[in-house]
Amino acid sequence: MAVPAFGARRYRPLGGARRPLRFGGVALLGIGVQTGVALFVAHRVLAGIDAEPVVLANLAKLAAVCCAFLVTFAGYRLAVFTPRSLLEFRDRPILGPADGPVPTWLLSALLLAGLAARLLFLAVAPVAYGDAVSYSWVAWAIGHGRAWEADPFWHSLFDYWQALLVWAGLGQYPALVLSSLIPGTALIVPAVLLTWNLYGRTAAVVAGLAVALHPRLIEYSVNGYAESFFLHAALWALWGATTLIAAPRRRLAAVALGAGAATWVLVRNEAALIALVLGLLPWLLRRDLGLRAWLPAASLTVLAATAVVVPTLAVDTMLFGHPQLLAKATNATRQHVEMLDPVAAARETYAIEAGQTRQADSPRSRLQVVADRWPQNVRYTLERLPGMLLSPIFLAALLLPALARRRGGGRREWPLLAFTLWPLLFYPLLQLEPRMLLPTVIGCCLFGAAGLVVLGRFVAERLRGEYWAWTPATATLLLLGVLIVPLALHSEAERGPHRAIGAWLAESVPERVAIYGDGYGYVSSSSFWAGRRAEPRPWTNSSEQLTGWLDQQGPAVLVLYDGYRRAYNPDLTSIAPGGPTAMSRIEVLPFRGSDRVEVWANREAAKLLNVGERAAGGMPAGRVAAASQ
């Protein structure tokens, strides 16, 4: 009689062709986690710590190894060398669609929780920065009937939504905040409905709380960016596609799919690819019904999309003279992007001479740019993804298929999976910014909610205590809640100083004096708080060339930031007061940490500001010292 091998009664490795695939998948996942955590900890967490580089590098490696060990250990234990108890457990139908509609009181409670968390973040970090400022000026001009003043490059359907708030009488900053706060809070509703239909009541509650409390979703719900607006529309499109797979005759689902996808595309044009996928998935997954059964839903979807697109293009033509659907040029035409090569990107974007810039203008050269940029973008994606996920909820999402084979959602999960993977598969080809990973964050919240419910049930049965069922979800949600205030404090520390610069500009620079300064959102974020528009200065390494250019702009001031010069223009020579252009340094202001902001005036502005000979040779020593403290 053969003696059973050690552990044969407890473990049953998955045989056949799937076993090496699972083994390799877990190994690749561990490598990805180790690389991403190491890059994130080294470049984002420990970057500001004053210590020996070798110490910081070893700390980053230690954190990466620990995370990779936990992930690979759990992966091999659950997906490759699976315990027999888990094999029996995961065949049980624990997850499935909930009966009946979502209770109104439940949605109301989740919305209140989400609103409270967002207002807390806003109270700690009332900031405006980056693209949100550009969107705000477009909306401000449209809302006041002066669309000709708007920059069409920054225009999208989101601006019309914010312009409605301006037209209703709100100030510029309240309109900026509410334009993202309203859809960012309402985002909870389609997230709950989607999870309710896929995985049931408990998973829907956890998903709703995860979306309500996730720090990154909160941050982009109060900062005036367009993300919460189009993601809210995208989730309704996702709900429509998922519902149509189960019920092709649901008219409301077809309308939600068409209108939501069109709204998404009118804000992020490249989303036309994933919108097309979502539109085709119901038919591809239910081809057994035949084409005729899908004609009513397809017709309603197209009509709903047309009802959003046509009026938008008509208003664009009325206000701007032509449709603005593809006003923003694709990043594939640029040789450099600021996240990967900041100096070269700034030179390409803001060069003072046209000969200093070069863009890919042929299909072959564009493909070459994409091929050259892709490896750097993948590395950058791994570096920034941990900081966007901000919790182990993505691990629960990965555990879901290992813990629950019979999930009830079946093929209806495919639209959500496509939505989750879309940023990881597309944006590294062009240009990835961290906010572009938010669909992945939302997908991890929804899949992870289901994974936490199943994990909690498994733990409760193993430990023989029903109260253990909520432990994984409670711990994860508490971690998300604890991170809200630290992220808000970080945002305030990074962007809050712009308010003081703006207050000084409002008090000291009259309307007839133009404001120029460093690009990439530096001077525009400061001037926003002064109620003034500002233009980015040209990029150059020659201070003589820069001051000569400023002297030709009429009365103007130049706002220079230490942080911008260090990151984007490190070889710019120092500006010499006086000389042929008679530049006058009129103020030095503190900024982040030890960084300073210098404000220079050209000759015409100096006369208007009554800058005397003493200022022409530099700012008085007492004010320099006070600003440096």
For residue range 581-627, what is the model confidence (pLDDT) as tens digits? 568 899 999 998 889 999 999 989 998 888 754 344 444 433 433 43
More confident residue, 123 or 551: 123
Assess whether pLDDT exceeds 90 at residue 236. Answer: yes
Say what the pLDDT of residue 375 is: 84
Query: Under a CB-based contact definition with an 8 Å cutoff, are residues 551 and 522 in contact?
Result: no
Q: How many CA atoms lie within 13 A of 285 on its CB side?
A: 21
Tell me the C-alpha distance between 57 and 42, whole Å: 6
Say what the pLDDT of residue 303 is: 97
What is the mean pLDDT of the segment spanning 509-517? 95
- Side-by-side strand order, sheet with 596-601: 535-536, 514-517, 556-561, 596-601, 584-590
Say what the pLDDT of residue 629 is: 36
Say what the pLDDT of residue 327 is: 59
Q: What percent of the chain has pLDDT over 90?
A: 58
Assess whether pLDDT exceeds 60 at residue 570. Answer: yes
What is the mean pLDDT of the segment spanning 152-179? 95
Top-confidence range, 148-162, 205-219, 397-411, 589-603 = 205-219
In the chain, how long is the greatest CA-to-CA distance?
104
CB atoms within 10 A of CB 19: 14
Tell me the C-alpha distance between 608 and 512, whole Å: 9
Of the listed ranges 348-362, 366-380, 382-396, the one predicted with least confidence: 348-362
Assess whether pLDDT exceeds 60 at residue 16. Answer: no
Tell me the C-alpha distance between 3 and 509, whole Å: 89
Which amino acid does the sequence have at 282?
P
Assess whether pLDDT exceeds 90 at residue 432. Answer: no
Say what the pLDDT of residue 99 is: 87
For 483-602, where are the alpha helices, taking DSSP H only? 484-495, 497-508, 522-528, 543-551, 562-568
Helices 53-75 and 393-403: angle between axes, nearest 10 degrees: 20
Say what the pLDDT of residue 296 is: 92
Report residue 440 as tokens: 């992945």
- At 286, is the pLDDT very low, low, confident or very high (cuts 50, 70, 90)? confident
Say what the pLDDT of residue 332 is: 55
Assess whether pLDDT exceeds 70 at residue 550. Answer: yes
> Domain coordinates of the chain in residue numbers?
18-88, 104-328+360-491, 496-628
pLDDT per residue over 329-361, tens digit each? 455 556 677 777 889 889 988 887 644 444 555
Report residue 459 as tokens: 């733990």
CB atoms within 10 A of CB 571: 9
What is the mean pLDDT of the segment spanning 410-424? 92
What is the mean pLDDT of the segment spanning 273-283? 94
- Please work out, in degrees rounded to the nearest 5, the angle formed at the alpha carbon of residue 311 by the alpha carbons of 305 and 314: 130
Say what the pLDDT of residue 431 is: 78
* Residue 390 falls in which region: left (phi positive, over 0), alpha (psi -120 to 50) or beta: left
Say what the pLDDT of residue 50 is: 78
- Bridging pattern class, strands 514-517 and 556-561: parallel
Of the listed ranges 60-74, 160-174, 226-240, 270-284, the one predicted with least confidence: 60-74
139-155: buried (b, 16+ CB within 10 Å) or exposed (e) per residue? bbbbbeeebeebeeebb
- Bridging pattern class, strands 556-561 and 596-601: antiparallel
Q: What percent of the chain has pLDDT over 70?
A: 88
What is the mean pLDDT of the segment spanning 447-476? 91
230-267: buried (b, 16+ CB within 10 Å) or exposed (e) per residue? bbbbbbbbbbbbbbbbbebebeebbbbbbbbbbbbbbb
More confident residue, 517 or 89: 517
Tell me the C-alpha distance between 507 and 526, whole Å: 13
What are the φ and ψ backbone dihedral angles of 536, each rounded to 5 degrees? -70, 145
What does the H/E/C string look like for 465-478? Answer: CHHHHHHHHHHHHH
